[in-house]
Structure formats: C-alpha cells, structure tokens
Amino acid sequence: MTVVAHELKASYAFIERNFFLTRRYWGWELAFLVYSVAGALSISLIGADQGSPTLLLTLMVGAIFWNYLSVVFSWIAETISVERWEGTLEYTMMAPIRRSSQLLGSVLYAMVYGLVHTTVILIALILFFPQVDLSGADPVTAVAFMLLGSFSFVGIGMIAAILPLLYVERGAQMTFVLQSCLLLVSGVYYSVDILPGWMQVLSHLSPATYVLHGVRAGLIDGAPVSAVLGDVWPLIVMGAVLIPFGLWAFGRAERYAKRTGKLKRVG
Amino acid sequence: MTATLTPELKNGSAGRTLLPELDRLASRSTMPALLIEDVSKRFVVGRKRKPVTAISHVSMRLERGDIHGILGANGSGKSTLIRLISGLLTLDEGRLEVFGHDIERDEMAVKRLINRVSVDAAFFKKLSPMENLLFAARLYGLDGGKAKRDTLEILARLGISAKRVGRPIEQMSRGMQQKVSIARALLTSPALLLLDEPTTGLDPRSKLDVQSFIEELRSTHDATIVLTTHDLAEAERLCGRITILNDGRVVAEDTPEGLMTLTGKRLGRRATLEDVFMTYTGRSLDDDVDEDEAESED
Ligand SMILES: Nc1ncnc2c1ncn2[C@@H]1O[C@H](COP(=O)(O)OP(=O)(O)OP(=O)(O)O)[C@@H](O)[C@H]1O
Ligand SMILES: [Mg+2]
C-alpha cells in the first residue's frame, strides 16, 4: 500500500463519516435547507418589491453564493469542534494519518455538500422568480469564481478550525463571530462602497468580496473571466497563502494542545 | 492488519509459535515493546499557578507479550501516562519508545502500532457501532469490507448481536458502548494496546468476558498490553507485572506475587493485593510525600 493510497483512504474516511452524519441528522438537514431557502427568498423579495430586476438579481446572487461559502466554511471550521463535542477527538488525533489528509477529506465533503445545498436553493429561486432573465449571463465566470472562492475559503476555514484546539470552548464561539464579520464586510447584499472606510479595508481582506463581485459581473453584466481579472488574482493569492499557512498553523496548534493537555475532555 | 507491522515484528511472531520461550528470550535481550525512560509531565492550570506534576521521572520496560498493570489512586497519573504513550500529550522530559520507534521522531510508526481504550466510550452518538468502527478502521488503512466482517466477529465475541450494530450507539447501555470501544481498538490489531480502565462500569459477566478476551489477545495476537484498573482482582488475574503510581511517581514495581510477599513482610501477615495498594498509595508513606513537596518547592 503506497503512502498516497493510504492517505487518500484516510481522507475518504472523513468524507464517508460526514456523509453518515448528514444521513443520521436528516431531520436537521431538511430544517436547515428550508431555513436557507426561506432566507434567500425573503431577501430576494426585497428586490422584487422594489420592482428592480437588477436589484433582484444582485440579492439573489448574494443569497445563493453566500450560502455556498458559509456552508463550506462551517463544515471545515467544525471539523475539530464536532469531534471535541462528541469526545472522539483524542481517537482521531491518535490515528496514523496526516492532518492534510484529514483536512482534505473535510474540504471535499464540504464542497460537495455546499454544491448540493446551493443547487437546491438556486432551483427554488428560479422557480419562484420566473421573470429573472439570465440569457445574457456568463455561467463560466460564475463557476470559476465559485471554485476560486472555495480555494481561499478552505484556508480561512482551516484557520477557524484551529481555534477550538487552542481554546476549548471559546474557539467555537470565535468561529461564529468570524463568519458573521465576513458576512458584514463582504458586500453580500450591498456594495462595499457604502461601508465606512475602516470596514472597506476589511472588505479587501475578505475573499468573499471578490467572489461576489466576480459572480455578479458574470451573471448580471455577462462579463467573461478575462474582464474581471482584478477579482481573480486576489483569490489566487489568498488561497495560495492561506492554505499552506492554515496547515502549518494547524500543526503548531496541535503541538500546543498536546503540550498543555487540551485534547482531553474526560477520563 | 499485518501490513502496518514492521518486518521485525512479523518475523518475530512467526518464530514465536515454534519456539516461544527462545523467541521470548531473544526479544528480551533486544528490543522492548515499550520503553519509558525518566518521563515527566507537568500541567499548568490557569495563569500564574503552580504547575501540577502529573508524571514525575517514571521509567518502565515492557517486553513483547507482557500485560503490565498500572495501579494508583484517583489522580495519581495513570491516564496521563497512557496519554503520553498514545502521543496525545508531549513529554516534558525523558524518552519513550514503542518497538524501537521514538515517539517524538517517529510518530507515525508509533501511531500505527498502538491503540487505546479509555474509560469513557467516545463515539459519534447518533452513528451506529458499524459506522463508528468503519470510520476508525479506515483511519488505520483497513479495507472497508474486511473491517465490516471483523467488526461483526469481534462484537459477537464480546456479546453484542449483529442486529444492534446498525442502530445509533446512543441507544446502547454504557457497558455495551464500552465493549464497542474495546472492539474499535482490537479492529486495528495493535501490537501495543493501551487499556485505561476498560472494564469500569461493566457487569460481572461482561467483565469476565472482556478479561478472557484480553488473555486470548495476548496468546493469539501476540499483543503487548498496558492496563490501568481499579479492580485489583482483575490486575492480579491478568498482569504479569504491576507498577504502582502515587502522585505521579513509581512507588513499587514487581509481579503481583512479589508485591504481596514484600508487603506481607512489612505487615507481618499474609498480604492481599488490596493491602499492597493501601500500603503504597496511602498516606503511610510520609517520607515520600515530604520529599515530593520539597521537590515542588524549587
Ligand atoms: N489535561 C489536563 N490538564 C490539566 N491537568 C491535568 C490534565 N490531565 C490530568 N491532569 C492532572 O494530572 C493529574 C493526574 O491525572 P490522571 O488523569 O492521569 O489521573 P488518573 O490516575 O488517571 O486518575 P483516575 O483514577 O481518576 O482516572 C491530576 O492531578 C489531574 O488533575
Ligand atoms: Mg484515569
């Protein structure tokens, strides 16, 4: 058995386990899906109410893509906190696998789950707003930004996943706060230009800002990827920096937790 | 899972069936299954507090096939020692080797050789035993189909019927969950098995089931076992040697008989293992306690 095959098997272990969890908690999954669809609809209805097709589309894009990014973020960020909650963290940390395989498994599951979840919302919105005209849209741009965005959100998710290793309880709370702040500064439902100056600085640090800007350009203005390169390169840079940094920081955090006895909960 | 064993081990176990004693002697002179040398671990709880010394200058040596007991009062450092061997805690001082692999330098190799059962059966409570064990097996590189067959076999051996393996684990009693936890460790065929109070909370019959299973493991799987327990009869039945910890330090180590003889001499009567426990972990060892306090001052 080669090393790579062994590690891919380990990644698959996390994918399969997360799938089992989703299947067992199907009631919650359904409730969460209904909540997300209702949320996306109510926000988009503001656009319909104003009688502005552009506003409607802007809000729809915001609701759908923010949903995708936050779902991906949550699954990755909760990799550790879920296991701490169940008490299985020590067993997983003892297993002969690389952290990168563990995170890769979480990331792949998060992306597939996010895609399924978001597709359901997309279908619901299209059925609800038949007046929306996407004939001039460039879907390639939208997909490209979704993939690029996943890349950098994976990095942020990893860093968020570390927090529960460092702070037994506060970690999960901090993750929650981080996610809310990203929503606030990334121009999900409005242009970041209306934010106060200091918040705009933060907007530039959030990958979601570029994803939403790029997707809107593609779906509303029909811009090809080549027309929005200004939004592409920050995402590539962020992904390329955040993912290796996240892995490195994860290793450091694990070492810290093992030195201070933070992995244990009972026994 | 022989694939994860080192070649020395595979050859060793093959030879063992032919000439058990010779092989045992040979391995005794070469590589111990577990070597702990002068290991210490301190915890700092809260800011500016005096650190708690959970393990202090502990040394231990286990040969392949040993069942080594660790006894001690609550808070004496048994679980901490098990965690240090599991790599769940880093060493502050000292050296620790599993079948010749240093735990700091060769972490992956050590991880492949060990597994642990802790006093609490930690699982994804909504998932079934099968789903939980499949996850565990895959982390150790086991094939899914084989893992499923082995799971059923081991659980049946521990008295859990096949019809329960598909239902959420939260529906099982604590003792049954503990048995699933034991099965999880056995599934990966560890060369070194760390059992931290595995039978706590089991009914008398289940306890016996698990104990005979542990004995069987040693004889058929060639496993080396570290066992902590508060059940002295269990320690006497299973353990070839016993280490007694008090406040993180080794206060005695010998065979159960050796410990009882020694204590018997001190007490001037025939001693049981309970007498041994009381003698070594009680406050009667005043000089040890004084020494400990003097040590933590500096
Ligand atoms: N993660 C931790 N953080 C801080 N202190 C710890 C930690 N783990 C153990 N300790 C401390 O180390 C000492 C030894 O604890 P340990 O759990 O090893 O005892 P034990 O012998 O297993 O006890 P028991 O019989 O109750 O299981 C105790 O004083 C405990 O408070
Ligand atoms: Mg303990």
Strand partners for B121: none
Residue A14: which of A94, A103, A112, A111 has the closest Cα?
Answer: A103
Write the DSSP string, chain B.
-GGGS-HHHHHHHHHHHH-HHHHHHHHHHS--SEEEEEEEEEE--STTPPPEEEEEEEEEEE-TT-EEEEEE-TTSSHHHHHHHHHTSS--SEEEEEETTEETTTSHHHHHHHEEEE-SS----TTS-HHHHHHHHHHHTT--HHHHHHHHHHHHHHTT--GGGTTS-GGGS-HHHHHHHHHHHHHHT--SEEEEESTTTT--HHHHHHHHHHHHHHHHHH--EEEEE-S-HHHHHHH-SEEEEEETTEEEEEE-HHHHHHHHHHHHTS---HHHHHHHHHSTT-HHHHHHHHHHHH-
B210, B158 Cβ separation under 8 angstroms: yes
φ/ψ of B61, rounded to 5, equals -140, 125
pLDDT > 90 in chain A, percent: 75
The C-alpha atoms of residue A16 and residue A10 are separated, in whole angstroms, by 10
Which strands sit side by side in the sheet containing B101-102, from one edge to the other?
B52-62, B34-43, B93-98, B101-102
The C-alpha atoms of residue B185 and residue B118 are separated, in whole angstroms, by 10
Write the DSSP string, B155-220.
HHHTT--GGGTTS-GGGS-HHHHHHHHHHHHHHT--SEEEEESTTTT--HHHHHHHHHHHHHHHHH
The C-alpha atoms of residue B199 and residue B231 are separated, in whole angstroms, by 8
Residue B188 within a domain: yes
Q: Which residues of A touch B111 (CB under 8 A)?
A: 94-96
Q: Residue B3: pLDDT above 70?
A: no
Residue B73 within a domain: yes
Q: Which residues of B touch A95 (CB under 8 A)?
A: 111, 136, 139-140
Strands annotated E in chain A: none
CA distance B191 to chain A (A): 14
Residue B28: count of CB within 10 angstroms of its CB: 12
In a mutational test of the A interface, the residue from B135, B142, B148 whose CB has the highest number of chain A CBs within 10 Å is B135
The C-alpha atoms of residue B39 and residue B60 are separated, in whole angstroms, by 9
Under the banding of pLDDT at 50, 70 and 90, the label for residue B289 is very low
Digit-coded pLDDT (tens) for B88-114: 999 999 999 999 999 999 999 999 999
The C-alpha atoms of residue B250 and residue B267 are separated, in whole angstroms, by 21
Task: Pull the structure tokens for residue A121.
Answer: 């919302």
- Of the listed ranges A145-159, B225-239, B283-297, the one predicted with least confidence: B283-297
pLDDT at position B17, please? 41
Under the banding of pLDDT at 50, 70 and 90, the label for residue B287 is very low
CA distances to B57, B74, B76, B284 from B290, in Å: 17, 20, 16, 12
B156-169: average pLDDT? 91
Per the prediction, chain A carries an average pLDDT of: 92
Its pTM stands at 0.87
Digit-coded pLDDT (tens) for A104-128: 999 999 999 999 999 999 999 999 9
Q: Is the CB of B198 under 6 A from ligand 1?
A: no
Per the prediction, chain B carries an average pLDDT of: 86
Task: Pull the structure tokens for residue A45.
Answer: 């209805």
Q: Residue B7: pLDDT above 60?
A: no
Residue B111 within a domain: yes
Q: Is the CB of B52 under 6 A from ligand 1?
A: yes
Nearest CA in chain A to B125: A86
**Which residues are CB-neighbours of A244 under 8 A, at least 6 positions away?**
none
Residue B58: which of B252, B256, B191 has the closest Cα?
Answer: B252
Q: Name the one residue in this structure whose structure tokens are 């939004």.
A: A231
Nearest CA to ligand 1 atom 31: B75
Subunit contact B138:A16, Cβ cutoff 8 A: yes
Digit-coded pLDDT (tens) for B23-75: 554 455 579 999 999 999 999 887 767 889 999 999 999 999 999 999 999 99
Q: Which residues of B281-295 are buried (b: 16+ CB within 10 A; e: fewer)?
A: beeebeeeeeebeee
pLDDT > 90 in chain B, percent: 67
Nearest CA to ligand 1 atom 11: B54
Residue B236 within a domain: yes
CA distances to A63, A86, A225, B164 from A36, in Å: 9, 26, 28, 36
pLDDT at position A5, please? 83
Residue B169: which of B190, B194, B151, B147 has the closest Cα?
Answer: B151
φ/ψ of B38, rounded to 5, equals 55, 45
A105, A112 Cβ separation under 8 angstroms: no
3-state secondary structure B82-94: HHHHHCCCCCCEE
Subunit contact B139:A10, Cβ cutoff 8 A: yes
Residue B122 Cα to ligand 2 middle (Å): 15
Q: What angle do CA B273, B117, A102 make, to 5 degrees?
A: 160
Q: Residue B87: pLDDT above 90?
A: yes
Which strands sit side by side in the sheet containing B67-72, from one edge to the other?
B114-117, B192-196, B224-228, B67-72, B241-246, B249-254
Task: Pull the structure tokens for residue A113.
Answer: 């789950």
Q: Residue B21: pLDDT above 80?
A: no
Q: What angle do CA A44, A76, B89 make, to 5 degrees?
A: 155
Q: Residue A234: pLDDT above 80?
A: yes
Q: Is the CB of B89 under 6 A from ligand 1?
A: no
CA distance B25 to chain A (A): 30
Q: Name the one residue in this structure whose structure tokens are 């933060």.
A: A202
Residue A261 Cα to ligand 2 middle (Å): 14
pLDDT at position B38, please? 97
In Å, how far from its chain's centre is CA B205?
21
The amino acid at residue B250 is V
The C-alpha atoms of residue B202 and residue B215 are separated, in whole angstroms, by 17
Digit-coded pLDDT (tens) for B197-222: 999 888 898 899 889 888 888 888 88
Nearest CA in chain A to B43: A260
Q: What is the CATH number of the domain that holds B280?
A: 3.40.50.300
A91-113: average pLDDT? 93
Instruction: Reduce the DSSP state of residue A267 to 3 states and report it.
Output: coil
pLDDT at position B174, please? 86
Digit-coded pLDDT (tens) for A214-231: 999 999 999 999 999 999
Q: Which residues of A touch B139 (CB under 8 A)?
A: 10, 13, 92, 95-97
Under the banding of pLDDT at 50, 70 and 90, the label for residue B298 is very low
Complex ipTM, two decimals?
0.89
Chain B touched by A252 (CB under 8 Å): no
Digit-coded pLDDT (tens) for A158-190: 899 999 888 877 888 888 899 999 999 999 999
| Residue B258, domain extent | 7-297
Interface of A with B in 140-179 (CB under 8 A): none
Q: Which residue has the higher pLDDT, B280 or B201?
A: B280
The amino acid at residue B194 is L
Under the banding of pLDDT at 50, 70 and 90, the label for residue B166 is very high
Q: Residue A51: pLDDT above 70?
A: yes
| A to B CB pairs, distance under 8 Å | 96
For chain B, the farthest-separated pair of C-alpha atoms sits apart, in whole angstroms, at 59
Residue B241: which of B55, B22, B56, B65 has the closest Cα?
Answer: B65
Task: Pull the structure tokens for residue A64.
Answer: 């759908």
Residue B5: which of B232, B281, B222 has the closest Cα?
Answer: B222
Nearest CA to ligand 1 atom 3: A261
Q: How many domains does chain B have?
A: 1
The C-alpha atoms of residue B151 and residue B125 are separated, in whole angstroms, by 17
Residue B2 within a domain: no
The C-alpha atoms of residue A79 and residue A145 are separated, in whole angstroms, by 25
Residue B1 within a domain: no
Subunit contact B141:A6, Cβ cutoff 8 A: yes
Task: Pull the structure tokens for residue A174.
Answer: 């901090």
pLDDT > 70 in chain A, percent: 99
Digit-coded pLDDT (tens) for A1-16: 577 888 888 999 999 9
